[in-house]
Amino acid sequence: MMISVALCTYNGQQFLPDQLRSLASQSRLPDELVVCDDRSTDGTWDLLAEFSRQASFPVRVERNQEQLGPAENFARCLARARGRWVVLCDQDDVWLPEKISVLAEKMTVLEVSCGPEFPLLIHSDAKVVDVELNTIADSLWAYQGSRPASGHVLNRLLLQNCVTGCTAMVNRALLEKALPIPGQALMHDWWLALVAAVFGQIDWHPEPLVLYRQHGGNDTGAKGWGIWVAIRSLLDFYGRAEARQVNAQVVQKTVSQAKAFVERFHAQLSPQQLEAIRAFASLSTEPYWKKRYLILKHGLYYHGLLRNAGHLLLK
């Protein structure tokens, strides 16, 4: 089975060598590495050129004619991958040696069960590490309070994404369904998760397969969660206009993504799915009690009790 790795780069000179070494050290090597560079101005291009000469598998490197940003760059990279299965790769992480082999084994089982024409996504946990690869948290899911077991459904994915792209493998059927990724999508991984949840299946591997590096320049990054984080967030929300504005912007972006999903797939969605998406899109404009009714009716929940307490009672 042909497996592609889709790697997006932008000014990754500091951390990219670690990631490239981890790709070359996989117990199951990829059949190709596809790289889309978003017009780096440091030594990233030279690093990629050198790796492509030395790698034991084919490497195709392309430089964007104009800067696209992370979501659109990944969409472009995924569209250029030729494999039946594609593994998403960030420039600043480190893969554990068994990552590709473990995901490939699980994808094999899923495709045998569901069929290769069924859109499939598999993702794993990750270990959160600092710049020097020292452990911050043994589990990204525990660190963020994320719950994949209950988060792989449309009504939850509308509010919160539980799929971290750098841990994921997708099959060709999912890419054919999801591409092109619209500009309204918050991130490529969130859009892929929505499409897989509605039209296919998402599965997960409970052990970390990636060292997820945090360095202050991450496009998304791991965000710790717990009682004290929740209290600080609540105080910020009610104490600072800036925090309320940021929250409103995030909500609006999720609404725009949901509307784009309906626009693309309207004719293929069930009446119940359409009703849930439209209810979610209307939450910010509904009166207090109508909002609570819609949340409960359609199960529009976040992960965890603390988040949902604020979702139901405070906003």
Is 90 exceeded by the pLDDT of residue 221?
A: no
Across the range 273-301, mean pLDDT stands at 92
Q: Which of 72-86, 130-144, 207-221 is the least confident region?
A: 207-221
Cα–Cα distance between 43 and 11 in angstroms, integer? 7
DSSP 200: S
104 within 8 A of 215, measured Cβ to Cβ? no
CA dihedral 204, 193, 146, 205 (to 10 degrees): 10
- How many percent of the chain have pLDDT more than 90? 78
Instruction: Pick the closest to residue 98 from 113, 111, 87 (CA basis).
Output: 87
Write down the number of H helices and E strands in the chain.
14, 9
Q: At what angle do helices 44-54 and 16-24 cross, to 10 degrees?
A: 10
Token pair for 260: 């784009």
Residue-range domains of the chain with CATH? 3-213 (3.90.550.10), 227-313 (no CATH)
Express each pLDDT in 77-91 by its tens digit. Answer: 999 999 999 999 999
Token pair for 175: 């890419």
